[in-house]
Every structure is written in structure tokens, then in C-alpha cells.
Amino acid sequence: MEQIQTIEIPIAGMDCTECTQHVQKAIASVSGVQKVDVFLSSEKAIVQMNPSLVKMTDIRTAVKNAGYSVATKEEETKTPNVALADFSRRMFTAFGLAFGAVIIIVVLGEWLGLLDNLTQLIPFPVGVAFVLLGGAPIFLNVIRATLNKQIIAHTLMSIGAIAALVVGEWTTAMVVIFFMHIGSYTERLTAEGARRAVKDLTAMAPQTARIEKDSAEKEIPITEVQLDDIVIVRPGEKIPVDGEVIAGHAAVDQSSVTGEAMPVEAGIGSQVRGATILKQGTLKVRTQAVGAQSMFGRVIKMVEEAEAHRADVQQFADKFSAYYLPVVASIAALTFLFSRDPLATAAVLLVACSCSIALATPIAMLATIGMNAKHGVLIKGGKYIEMLARADVLLIDKTGTLTLGKPVVTDIIALNGMDESALLSRAASADRYSEHPLADALRRSAHERGLVLSEITNFESHTGKGIQATVDGKNVFVGKSAHAIPEQAKEFEAQGKTVLYVSMDDTLVGVIAVSDTLRNEVPDALREAKRLGIKKIELLTGDNERTASSVAGALNISYHADLMPEDKIRIVKEYQSQGYIVVMAGDGINDAPALAQANVGIAMKAGTDIAIEAAHITLLREDWMLIPQVIAAAQRTMRVVKGNLGFTAAYNIVGLALAAFGFLPPMLAAALQSIPDLGILGNSARLLKNQ
């Protein structure tokens, strides 16, 4: 059995999604590579390979031949050479920009009739030298790509510049070079916007930790922290690890991970997360996870890898880009064939801008993924944003999803001279050592009322019936009734509540109703989901008919009760077979299959690891309003994507037509080719403000 290894490789020099495609193809061509994903946002490649067949030098060579580079520790230490190379590149760019600016002034002067004779003073060979020097970095990339049988966006622009030189228009060629540099800068600016979300998240991760060892404190790099190390955190500091509090009490700001605005209390036994901030108090935390294994590390990883799950519209754009450049070249050839006008032919090549098509989708998707991660919503990829924007059915689990997941006392009826507090105190005391969730509900309710529990003796548990114990000399029974049932108790049962009957020395002294209550924000969240276009909302639960009917009735939605996990999958498939886009929200192991089957599975924060792994979106905060919020964000994103694609398509069609019929001179065509990139950047930037 062959061994497969997964490695991460930093890639330098990528400016747009076209670049990621070139790097991906280059690495995939190496024999022994099983799978490769290249991410523009985090500037890296994740490669699955057979280490016995693939050497790092093979991958490095493939990336270099594609026109990019792989950074190594050895190269990182050679800062003088790197600095020199960077200085040279900047000098070439500055040279091109400076002379481009001069030429623009010259040409404008000529158009105005002010500098008719100036360009004639510069010999043509000198003008050609200006073009070659200013365009050297771009021309080298085009040559390298051509040798690797690749066509890049600058290929056509370079041909246009050469065409301008051939017809003696060196000033036009110089302006082309100028705007090629402007275009490159715009693409880098746009790509940097895509990377910002990941960089912002990564910057929030703590770099050091203060550990306690041998009764002394020592600050060490986060990479050296081990499991079970005791970490000390003081006010204002970031908690560097995931772990359990073993000493201290503090208020913790979790907004960096969950998006919660209000700090939460943390004391002995509490779980805390890395990258959260201690507002007040001091904690000692036993390390349970650190770095990439921590919750924050997993958040960063999910945001980085979300880029690999491309939306259908993004895949379309990628495929379109692959065919677009040859089509433009064909239009240019036809223009020359019918018009015999080299300037019109050059203008066709210059106005084309394939990068804008490639950028139209991923920039918007990455902006949405990054901003939602900051607000406590992890989205695993662009295709789930696209699906969520079109969703029309929402299926919901009950326990832990619609409800809090733990029963609470909702009603108390005291009988035969017993008051409510005494009744609850006796029942909770009798149940004080029981591990049943209903007993926990009684104890919590008594604690909230400030009641003191009594010591008990003769505790007995009767499976399926209840418990009994001696409390303050009285024989107390809590469970099913052996007496006549009061009418109010029947009403509680009809509402789907669990009714506990409390007897003392064989006399019924009260009734306590317990229920797993709905989350407060659920009704408003469901109404908002319907407003956003969700046509049908349905409860899927393993609870009995009576409980399901009660919960669904309170929310005015339909339901299915007594379901097994396979039943939930069946219902999801039934809706999908009818053409619906299905969203499933759940939190338990029994929900995992349905979450995976749904077009979009949403896991709640308190859910099991299996459910979170199966889901496509994870809510890091227990707030149901996040669901309509992420639906609205998805719909906004798709409107932006469609706007980007529509604008780019219209712009290129009009530009190509004007250039082909001679209405767009080469110089103006070169100047206009950067506008779509700027338009996409500006339009997509709205997502960073609205979410």
C-alpha cells in the first residue's frame, strides 16, 4: 500500500486566480502527486503526494518553470540577495512608470497640438529601448509562460505592445507598458484584498505563552507549548491555548472566535479557547490543544481551505478564462484580415482583460467567508454560499438546535398545603445525587431560587418510574403518579412537557413540569428566513408525536416525529428529488448523515465533532439569528458576483467591438483594460462593509 503524505508549500508571486491555476497545473504534472490545491488567499499549496516518488526539488522546479517560486528556510536567510532582487524589480517598475507618465504627457500634448515636434526629437531606437527596459519584468514572465505552453493575461498585451513597435508607434507601446504595470498593481491590490481576511485572522493568534514549570514562570514561543502544560494568563492578555481552567476566575472576551459581544465568565472547570482575551482576573489553564489543533487554528484552516470548494459560477469563470484569450487572439486575427489595420488589431489585443473574469467570483466569495468567520460563522467553501443563496427548504433538528438541549423547570403546582418553594426543595433534595437530566433541572431551578438542599438517606432509583429518598424524615417520591392526575398536569402533558409527580408519605403534594425550552431568538429567526425566500420549514425529530406537535405548533411549522437517522436522510433526498435546495440544521451524531446529504448542512456550536465535521457551515455562537444572517450574506454575495460578471462581460464585449471597428485607438485601449479589475475590487469591497 503506497504511503500518501500531505505537505503545505508557500508560493510567492501569485496575483490572481489565473496564477493559482498555473501553479496547480505545474505541481499536478509532477509524477507521484495525487492531489493539489492552491490558495490565493493564503499564498500556499496543499499537496498530497507519494514521498517515495516525489522530491521537494521536483515541486520547486515545476513551480519555478511556471513563473513562480517556493520559499525555503535556506532562501529566507539570504536576505541580501532577496532584497537586491526586490530592489531590481522595483527599479524596473519605477523606470517603466516614470517613462510611461512622461510619454502620456507627450502624447496628450500632441493630441492638443502643443508638442508636435517633441517625440520626433527622440530617435526610434531610443524609444524601443525605453519600451524594452520598462517592460522587462512583464516580458520575461510572458516568455517564461510561453516556453511552458501557457497563455497569460499579459501575453496579449505584450503582443499588442510589439505590434505598436512594428508599425512605428513606440510612444503607444510605452503607454501600453505603463498600463500593464498599472494593471499588475491593480491585480496585486485585488489579490491582497482576498488575502486580508486570512491575514487578519492569523495575526490574531498568540505568538507566545507564559507557562508554569517547577514553580517558576517562563515565556516561550507558542510552538513549544506541550499538552498538559500549565499556562498563566493575566488581564488584557490573549489566552494562547485551548484548555481547562484549573485556578482563578475571570471574564473572557470570546468575540475573536465566536463573535459574541459580551464577555463570558470562566472559573475552575471552564473550557477556554485560544485567541480569546482575558478582560479581568487571572487564570491558570491546563493545555488541551494548541496551534493548528486549537479551535482558532481550525477556524483559520477552514477559512484557508474554503477556497478549494469553488462555487459552480466560479468554476464557470475559471473555464471561461481558459478559452477567452484564444478567442480574443482569433478576433484580433480576423480584425487584421478584414481591415488590414494594424492599430485596430493591436487595440483588440490591448483592451482584452481576462483577469477580471477570473477575479469576478473568488474575490467576493473570499470576502464573505472571511467576514463571516470574524462574526462566528465558518463557511467551508464558495459553493455552499451559492447553494445557500438559492435555498428554499430548511429542515431542523429539535434537541440542542431549536432548543437549549437541557430541560428546565417551567411550571410548579403545589397541592395539599405545600408551597412551591418547599415542594421544589423536597423534590430537588430527593434527586440531589441522581445523574438524570430531569434531576439536574430540579437542582438548577432550586439553586436559581436560592433554596438550600437537605441531606438525604435511603435513596432508591426505580427505572422507568422515578426515585425515592428520605428527606427531613419524610419519604419523598418523584416520578410517575400512582394517584389521580390533576387537570393542569394533563394540560402540561398535552403541551409536550415532562410531568414529575411529587409524593410525600404516599400523599401527592405537587406537580412539576419540565421541558427542553426553545431558544428565545428562534421565532424571529424563522420569520426572517421565510422573508429571505425559504418556502418551507420543517422540524425533524426523534421525539414522540406529542412533543414534536407541541414544538412545531408553537413555531407554526410542519414536523416529522419518531425519526431515525436514516429517516432524516430519506426526507432530505425526497426534497432534493423534487428540485428543492435543502438546508439542514442540527447538532447531534444522529444528524450528521442528514447534514452531509443536504445541499448545505449547518452545525450548531454546541454540536458534536461528528456533526461539525459533516456540516458545510458551523456556527461558533449559539444564536439562531446567525442562520438568516448567513443566508442574507450569501444572497448579497451572489448579487455582487453576478454584477461583477455582468459588468466584465459587457465591458469586454463593447471594448472588443469598438477596437475591432477602429473606434478605440491602441493607447486608449491600453488605458482602459485596468478598469474592470478596479470595478470588481470596488464592487466586492461592499461585502466587507455590509456583513
Task: Encode pLDDT of 632-643 as tens digits.
Answer: 999 999 999 888
Q: How far is the C-alpha of 411 from the C-alpha of 646, rounded, in Å? A: 59
Q: Is the pLDDT of residue 240 over 80?
A: yes
Integer Rg of the chain from CA: 33
Region 556-574: what's the mean pLDDT?
87
- Under 8 Å between Cβ of 566 and 593: yes
- Give the confidence band of 691 by pLDDT, cuts at 50, 70, 90: low
What are the E-state strand segments in 520-642? 536-540, 558-560, 582-586, 600-603, 617-619
515 vs 189, which has greater pLDDT?
Answer: 515
Give the pLDDT of residue 278.
86
Q: Which of 372, 364, 373 is CA-nearest to residue 296?
A: 373
Residue 684, CA distances (Å) to 26, 565, 599, 636, 644 in order: 29, 40, 25, 10, 8
Q: Which of 160, 173, 182 is CA-nearest to residue 97?
A: 182
Active-site option among 229, 318, 397, 623: 397
Give the pLDDT of residue 87.
42
The ranges assigned to domains in the chain are 5-76, 78-208+290-376+624-691, 226-289, 384-404+519-620, 408-515
Domain covering 408-515 in this structure, CATH number? 3.40.1110.10
- Under 8 Å between Cβ of 591 and 606: no
Q: Rounded to the nearest 5°, which phi and psi values hold at 47?
A: -120, 130
Give the pLDDT of residue 108.
53
CB atoms within 10 A of CB 330: 11
Cell match 424563522: residue?
Answer: 526
Give the pLDDT of residue 308.
56
Written as one letter, the residue type at 486 is: P
652 vs 117, which has greater pLDDT?
Answer: 652
Give the pLDDT of residue 66.
80
- Give the confidence band of 402 by pLDDT, cuts at 50, 70, 90: confident
Local structure of 104: helix, strand or coil = helix
- Under 8 Å between Cβ of 40 and 16: yes
Q: How far is the C-alpha of 81 from the C-alpha of 254, rounded, in Å? A: 43
Residue 557, CA distances (Å) to 8, 498, 548, 549 in order: 47, 22, 10, 9
Cell match 444528524: residue?
Answer: 591
Written as one letter, the residue type at 200 is: D
Convert 443-460 to b/e letters by CB count within 10 Å (16 or more is b): bebbeeeebebbebeeee
Give the pLDDT of residue 429.
92
Local structure of 377: helix, strand or coil = strand
Give the pLDDT of residue 639.
92
**Across 92-106, 168-182, 264-278, least confident range:** 92-106
Region 420-449: what's the mean pLDDT?
88
Beta-bridge partner residues of 278: 252
Q: Is the pLDDT of residue 478 over 80?
A: yes
Beta-bridge partner residues of 220: 209
- Give the confidence band of 669 by pLDDT, cuts at 50, 70, 90: confident
Cell match 431568538: residue?
Answer: 521
Q: How far is the C-alpha of 649 from the C-alpha of 317, rounded, in Å? A: 11
Q: Which of 198, 125, 188, 134 is CA-nearest to residue 161?
A: 134
Q: What kind and span of H or E run contains 272?
A: strand 271-272
Return the C-alpha cell found at 163: 505590434
Question: Considering the chain, what is the average pLDDT of its residues?
Answer: 79
pLDDT digits (tens, 9 = 90+) for 162-215: 877 877 777 777 777 776 776 666 556 555 655 565 666 677 778 899 998 888
Q: Is the pLDDT of residue 390 over 80?
A: yes
The architecture (CATH level 2) of 226-289 comes to: Distorted Sandwich (2.70)
Return the C-alpha cell found at 685: 469591497
- Under 8 Å between Cβ of 421 and 412: no
**Between vectors from CA 249 to CA 246 and to CA 251, what angle results, nearest 5°?**
125
Which of 345-349, 416-420, 514-518, 531-535 has the highest average model confidence (pLDDT)? 531-535
Give the pLDDT of residue 115.
47
Local structure of 5: helix, strand or coil = strand
**Across 69-78, 163-172, 265-274, 372-381, least confident range:** 69-78
**Across 364-368, 383-387, 582-586, least confident range:** 364-368
CB atoms within 10 A of CB 164: 28
- Give the confidence band of 120 by pLDDT, cuts at 50, 70, 90: low
Written as one letter, the residue type at 561 is: A
Sign of CA dihedral 154, 158, 163, 169: positive
Give the pLDDT of residue 112.
47
pLDDT digits (tens, 9 = 90+) for 36-46: 888 766 678 88
Return the C-alpha cell found at 453: 438542599
Q: Is 37 a catalytic residue?
A: no
SS3 of 491-515 = HHHHCCCEEEEEEECCEEEEEEEEE
Return the C-alpha cell found at 115: 508638442
581 vs 665, which has greater pLDDT?
Answer: 581
Give the pLDDT of residue 89.
46
Return the C-alpha cell found at 20: 493559482
Q: Is the pLDDT of residue 485 over 60?
A: yes
Q: How far is the C-alpha of 135 from the C-alpha of 152, rounded, in Å? A: 15
247 vs 381, which has greater pLDDT?
Answer: 247
403 vs 120, which has greater pLDDT?
Answer: 403
Question: CA dihedral defined by 147, 152, 153, 155, rounded to 10 degrees?
Answer: 20
Domain covering 5-76 in this structure, CATH number? 3.30.70.100
Give the pLDDT of residue 511.
92
**Across 178-187, 212-221, 420-429, least confident range:** 178-187
Length of the chain: 691
Q: How far is the C-alpha of 599 from the C-alpha of 306, rounded, in Å? A: 16
- Under 8 Å between Cβ of 631 and 532: yes
**Across 195-209, 212-226, 261-275, 430-444, least confident range:** 195-209
Enumerate residues 6+ apart whose C-beta is below 8 A from 294: 241, 242, 273, 274, 275
Domain covering 384-404+519-620 in this structure, CATH number? 3.40.50.1000
